[in-house]
Amino acid sequence: MWYCIGADIGSGIFVLTGQEAKGTVGPAMVLSYAISGVSAMLSVFCYTEFTVEIPTAGKMLHCHHHTPADMWQYLDAFLLGLAEKSHHYVLPECKKFLQPPRTWIRAELESKELLTFCIKRLKNLSKVRLVNAEFVWTEPHSKRIKVKLNVQKEVLNGVKLEQAYITEYVVTDHMCESCSRVQANPDQWVAAVQLPQHVSHRRLLFYLEQLILKHDAAVRAIKINQMDEDIDFFFSSRSHALKFLEFMGKVVPIKSRNDKQLVSHDTKSNDYNYKHTFSVEICPVCREDLVCLPPKVVVGLGNLGPLVLCAKVTNNIVLVDPFTLRHVFLDADQYWRLPFRSLLSYKQLVEYIVLDVESVS
């Protein structure tokens, strides 16, 4: 087709009549061949472009790759910032990623949290529609995270192009203050919290452990030692230990004592470095224990008891008089002002059923 068009154009330029046409046949043929050759080269690109099946409105067709349309798509991707490299700062010990400017997010490799974090770091993602995103496997030691993105964009009225891109993230290790202490020497703690419970049964201590795990209260601890009678939490900062104590005071009645030891002293800058130890005492009374209240406590509670049952232990202690069913609440300050212990634990109590009641005058 292009050969015929080129021949017609070439012959049409030199339209002569009679004998003069004999000398112009050669240039017309040369020009027609040149035009047809250039047109044939262009037809290759046109053929490749027009064989692309473009998804149009009302039809779901797939796009062929490696076409001129894809070249423009890749160029558009680089302009959008989707196919570029970016850097992530990670704490290897804490497994946290930096969300600028100064927020650290905990996320495991190939987790939903990390995928969401990587997608949010992309620039100009609002200009396209994200169809799907998934991780591409990489060697764990390569310090690379690859995410495959399927994006869709409307180029004409009702005509949409869909393309897959792979975005690469470079992971750079970073050391926070606590991680640096752990790497240098794990014993370089600044504050320690000791949790002993001097009772035969440790139900309240087990309950406190569950709350600590549930709320990640000890997430800033650099080391935890569990003994037979207590648990020791070590922190790299005194403020972290105080925050941990504040959490425990909100869930159980506790009393703490602070001791400090001088580690070093700089005479020039007048700086002192201390090691702080917080000894915590937990209320030994547990739920369903039988308690014999001291006389001063009985008077202070309006002649309650003195034999009462502990109904509940949170940051307050709930006492119940089994004879009158009267309930009394004690907070931590009231309890530690006049502390008392359990007379019998719930394991020592015997459950029985009343069959008959006989009134004796």
- Model pLDDT for residues 310-354, shown as the tens digit of each residue: 999 988 999 999 888 899 999 888 999 989 888 888 888 888 898
Domain with 31, as residue range(s), is: 2-50
Which of 173, 202, 223 corresponds to the end of one domain? 173
How confident is residue 248, by pLDDT bands cut at 50, 70 and 90? Answer: very high
Instruction: Supply the pLDDT for residue 219.
Output: 85
pLDDT at 5 over 50: no
148 or 2: which leads in pLDDT = 148
Do 314 and 220 belong to one domain? no
> Please, which residues have CB within 8 angstroms of residue 310's CB and are 6 or more apart in sequence?
285, 286, 287, 288, 289, 291, 317, 318, 319, 320, 342
Q: What is the mean pLDDT of residues 153-178?
A: 77
- Model pLDDT for residues 24-41, shown as the tens digit of each residue: 455 555 555 566 556 555
Using CA atoms, how far apart are residues 338 and 28, in angstroms rounded to an integer?
Answer: 118
Residue 358 lies in a domain: no
Do 153 and 104 belong to one domain? yes
Inter-residue contact 196 to 230 (CB < 8 Å): yes
Do 195 and 243 belong to one domain? yes
Do 25 and 117 belong to one domain? no
- Model pLDDT for residues 28-75, shown as the tens digit of each residue: 555 555 665 565 555 554 444 434 444 444 344 444 344 555 545 554
How confident is residue 242, by pLDDT bands cut at 50, 70 and 90? Answer: very high
Give how many domains the chain has, as a whole number: 4
Residue 60 lies in a domain: no
Q: Are strands 86-91 and 159-173 parallel, antiparallel or unpaired?
A: parallel
**Alpha-carbon distance values, 289 to 197, 317, 322, 349, 350 (Å):** 16, 12, 12, 8, 12
Query: Taking the mean position of all CA atoms in its chain, how far away is CA 162?
Result: 30
Instruction: Supply the pLDDT for residue 247.
Output: 93
Do 72 and 23 belong to one domain? no
Place of tokens 């609440």: 329
Q: What is the mean pLDDT of the chain?
A: 75
Residue 357 lies in a domain: no
Maximal C-alpha separation, the chain: 155
Residue 352 lies in a domain: no
